[in-house]
Amino acid sequence: MIKLIATDIDGTLVNDAKDFPPDLDKLIKALHKKGIKFVAASGRSYVTLKDNFKQWEGMVDFICDNGAFIMANGKPMGFHPLPSDKISGILSHILNVKNTHIILCGEKGTYHYDYSKEFTKEVARFYSNQIIVDDLFSVNDNFMKIAIFNPYKPSTETYKDLKKGFPDDLDLIISGDFWIDVMPKNISKGKALKLLQQHYNIKKDNTLAFGDFNNDIEMLMNAEFSYAMENASDEIKSIAKYIAPSNNEWGVVKVIRQLCKI
């Protein structure tokens, strides 16, 4: 019996146009009525996710910034910002890699340089509360992660360049075709999911999870019912037990309806 559902957002729950499933309202309300926990697990910040799911307040828990921040029943239960004394060095390291666009994902907002209107529009697809700054080094906030975007080269190539000389006490995670995240060490959606399972006394055997990219790997490994989207990376498909229809076919909703009999 499924008691907890955790789903990634981009490339998984929403389609490529970033639209949410048209019948998501009925689904979330039906799950809530059945007592099944619904968790939005994303690289998006809490500010963004709270806005995305505002009409379902009290019905959705959040794993934000790839697990750096967790909200359960409207209350914080996990907060793991990047070490403040590491920020300056990380920024300098990233700036030495060609064609990288930096986004500081903070508790109060999302900060970046005024790269271009196209970039600002692209960021808006994933993050709310954008704050354009002249100097990233002087921003004062708690940073859950640093997102790196390269519009010109595949993420794997940028990853190799960033990995050279990268601090061993931080994690560098490929989170999309053109996105890479700098995270606190040993923080992930999977560990956040474990905390929620412990909090609600729900076992792995009663957990359903969906994902499409590498930052979802640990989360899928902590769910008995692990689904990679049809559009997922090969690595995700290799570790998931099942394949769901693509995000553009609303695969998450279709599988949940089938398994939870909604």
Give domain 89-184's CATH architecture.
Answer: 2-Layer Sandwich (3.30)
CA distance 148 to 179: 6
Least trusted range by pLDDT, from 20-29, 98-107, 146-155: 146-155
Task: Give the tens place of pLDDT for each residue, 97-122.
Answer: 988 999 999 988 999 999 888 888 88
Q: Do residues 4 and 206 make contact, with C-beta atoms less than 8 angstroms apart?
A: yes
User: Measuring CA to CA, which residue among 223, 232, 49 is closest to residue 144?
Assistant: 49
Most confident of 3-12, 41-50, 144-153: 3-12
Instruction: Tell me which DSSP letter residue 232 carries.
Output: S
Q: Is the pLDDT of residue 126 over 90?
A: no
pLDDT, residue 118, reads 83
Task: Give the tens place of pLDDT for each residue, 222-235.
Answer: 999 999 999 999 99
Query: Taking residues 127-149, what's their average pLDDT?
Result: 93
Helix and strand numbers, DSSP H then E, in the chain: 9, 14
CA distance 20 to 183: 27
Domains 4-80+187-260 and 89-184 share a fold: no
Q: Do residues 208 and 240 make contact, with C-beta atoms less than 8 angstroms apart?
A: no
**Can you identify the CATH homologous superfamily of domain 4-80+187-260?**
HAD superfamily/HAD-like (3.40.50.1000)
CA distance 215 to 67: 10
Strand order in the sheet with 242-244: 75-79, 69-72, 60-64, 37-41, 4-7, 207-211, 225-229, 242-244
pLDDT above 70: percentage of residues in the chain: 100
Task: Give the tens place of pLDDT for each residue, 199-223.
Answer: 999 999 999 999 999 999 999 999 9
Q: Is the pLDDT of residue 153 over 80?
A: no
pLDDT, residue 143, reads 94
pLDDT, residue 50, reads 92
Looking at every residue in the chain, the average pLDDT score rounds to: 93
- CB neighbours of residue 79 within 10 Å: 13
The single residue listed with the structure tokens 């559009």 is 231
Distances (CA, A) of 228 to 25, 193, 236: 23, 17, 6
What is the domain partition of the chain in residue ranges? Answer: 4-80+187-260, 89-184
Is residue 38 within a helix (H) or strand (E), and if so which, with residue range?
Answer: strand 37-41
Instruction: Tell me which DSSP letter residue 12 carries.
Output: I
For the chain, the farthest-separated pair of C-alpha atoms sits apart, in whole angstroms, at: 52
Query: Taking residues 47-55, what's their average pLDDT?
Result: 93
Q: State CA 197 to chain mean position distance.
A: 18
Q: Do residues 78 and 69 make contact, with C-beta atoms less than 8 angstroms apart?
A: yes
Is residue 234 within a helix (H) or strand (E), and if so which, with residue range?
Answer: helix 234-239
CA distance 93 to 218: 27
Q: Do residues 83 and 167 make contact, with C-beta atoms less than 8 angstroms apart?
A: no
**Can you give the pTM of this predicted structure?**
0.89
Sign of the Cα pseudo-torsion (225, 231, 235, 237, in order): positive
Is residue 77 within a helix (H) or strand (E), and if so which, with residue range?
Answer: strand 75-79
CA distance 251 to 208: 13
CA distance 155 to 196: 30
